[in-house]
Amino acid sequence: MTEFDVYLSDGSRQTVPADGYGLEGPLTTFFLSDCGRVVLDSWSTRLASFRTADVRRIERQAPVAGASAA
């Protein structure tokens, strides 16, 4: 799993541990893939959504070396 830092227009930063993200209408939504799959599909779990107009940037954090999935 990867972490994404989401920087918002109000100056705040949210860290979301997710496998990926995509646009859903007016929202940018972060997902967790079930069962270790690497694709985001209808079986993925939605973790967090932000209004796309409020998102200034998204940074993907590099996975920590030696970290194991729980």
| Distance between start and end Cα atoms, the chain | 10
Domain that holds residue 55: 2-61
Classify residue 44: in a domain, yes or no.
Answer: yes
pLDDT digits (tens, 9 = 90+) for 10-38: 999 999 999 899 999 999 999 988 766 66
Instruction: Give the 3-state secondary structure of residue 57.
Output: strand
Number of domains observed in the structure of the chain: 1
Q: Are the C-beta atoms of 20 and 30 separated by less than 8 Å?
A: yes
Classify residue 32: in a domain, yes or no.
Answer: yes
Lowest mean pLDDT among 1-10, 23-32, 59-68: 59-68
Classify residue 70: in a domain, yes or no.
Answer: no
DSSP 17-31: EESEEEEETTEEEEE
Classify residue 68: in a domain, yes or no.
Answer: no
Give the separation between CA 36 and CA 50, rounded to whole angstroms: 24
